[in-house]
Structure 1
Amino acid sequence: MARRRRRKRQTNSLLSILIVAIAVIWGVGTSGGQSSFQTSHFTDLIGQSDQSASSASSTLNSAKTATKSYGGLSASDYQKLAKLNFKSGSQAFVYVNNNHSTLIKHAWKVNKVIYANLDKLNRTSSSNTAFLEKRNVANDSLRVRQYVEPTGWHSNHGRNQIYNRGHLIAYSVSAGIDQDGQYNPNNQSGDQNNPKNLFTQSAYSNQKIQTIFEAKVRTALRQGKKVIYQATPIFRGSELMARGINLQAVSTDGKLDFNVYLYNVQPGYSFNYANGRAKRDASVKVSESEN
């Protein structure tokens, strides 16, 4: 009888050990499987996050060179820029191609400006490209009143200046250039009321942002450098007011080199780019600090 009881206790002990072992193995297996799923799921989320960040990027990090002999903005990159939307609170410009021009610096041959023809909507929707040197720096005292009304133009009323007649190739670097783009030493007043060189631009974009990059070009010219400078208003579809403007420049020695896209925006106002009309909008803010 005692022997049977010992055998029964041994059997029960073995059974208990077996149950515990199975439970441990099950627990480890379940825990391992759950951990594996969580890691995989986390990796998937990271991938989704990266894709979202990439698609939301507002900067054209790489750009193609146009097929023209002097390069510049390509047709495909024009369309990419046209799709960009300004986000309130951001800076009014972004760098293109990591701030490197796609112009070909060795293409500088003759001091001139290539003015593109107006499109079928009378817009300056193509690139104007200038081959500049020191003699093109203009005297501001020779400026005259502007009277050309580019597409999307509306007169300013009251004290708030919203609209400017924006030059593609700045007046300040056009001394001696006539409206055909040729250098004429008798034309020191430069290019002013040329329909092929004007577009409706916000006062902020023109006076606060574009002047920064025009100053870089003037400085290089005064230093005796030869510069290729290109300006391209960017229109979306058949809209009459440009969404922005691509400015890029390169000197023949490579010391001057930039490529930027300026949003055509005005703090405190929103534009209907289809016709250029503006309305007060306190939600439109522009950051003046570096990102």
Structure 2
Amino acid sequence: MTRPAAPRREDGTTGGQATRLPRKAYEKELLRLQTELVKLQEWVRAEGRRLVIVFEGRDAAGKGSTIKRVTEHLNPRVARIAALPRPTERERTQWYFQRYVEQLPAAGEIVLFDRSWYNRAGVEHVMGFCTPKEHRLFLRQCPVFERMLVEDGILLRKYWFSVSDAVQEERFRRRLEDPLRRWKLSPMDLESITRWEAYSRAKDEMFVHTDIPEAPWYVVESDDKRRARLNMIAHLLDSVPYRDVPPPVLELPPRPPSTGYMRPPRALQTYVPDHAARL
């Protein structure tokens, strides 16, 4: 009987899936880390800092679900997600980094890039959406671009979510069968299965050129999404020298007495039907 092939990892090794973290332990630690993320947010706002977090990795590696947990309790006026669509015809004629520059944070803001300028080193390169010359130019300019960001005071963190081929395929399969997540799959995603090694080589080359001291890559093992989320958030918090900013002292004012206001008759307004009453 032929044994099934062991999952392939991006570094070329094989091995089984990581033991899944128990839900109770995961949820307890996630809540603690999310509380710290709120403190980080308030420090960024109070100090006028600028924080950029880049999320990259293969399709179904867990980037989106991690971003969701990072931003779940944050102020959308402070922390926002940049998930850019394919460039327009006008944007194609601009400097490649230009549309990403427009998304960078101002003072007191956090921007999470759900995929980023690294599209050019990954999907664009592998799928032939850019020329070899454009790819080489990106690998040459990207370290310079990121050094400029860091030199200007931006806190830049780059995370690569690493998933094995077997786990990726299983996640694709579950998405195909789930009407709530079917939209996450595209023909491009499925094409990535047949180009696994091409994406691996592209990622390796990208790391060679862009894993720089000023803006290093941090690899997150993501076969277990729970572990990946906790590990990524904990690392981010450890890497930023934030402090606890005391919130302003607030007190509920006494409600003033009525001055005779009368609410208009309910019949004059259109109400949403009570759908819940049918349950």
Greater relative CO (CA pairs within 8 A, separation 6+): 2
Structure (1/2) with the larger helix percentage: 2
The reply to whether TM is greater than 0.5 is no
Q: If the length of structure 1 is used for normalisation, what is the TM-score?
A: 0.24
Larger Cα Rg: Structure 1 or Structure 2?
1
Q: If the length of structure 2 is used for normalisation, what is the TM-score?
A: 0.25
Structure (1/2) with the larger strand percentage: 1
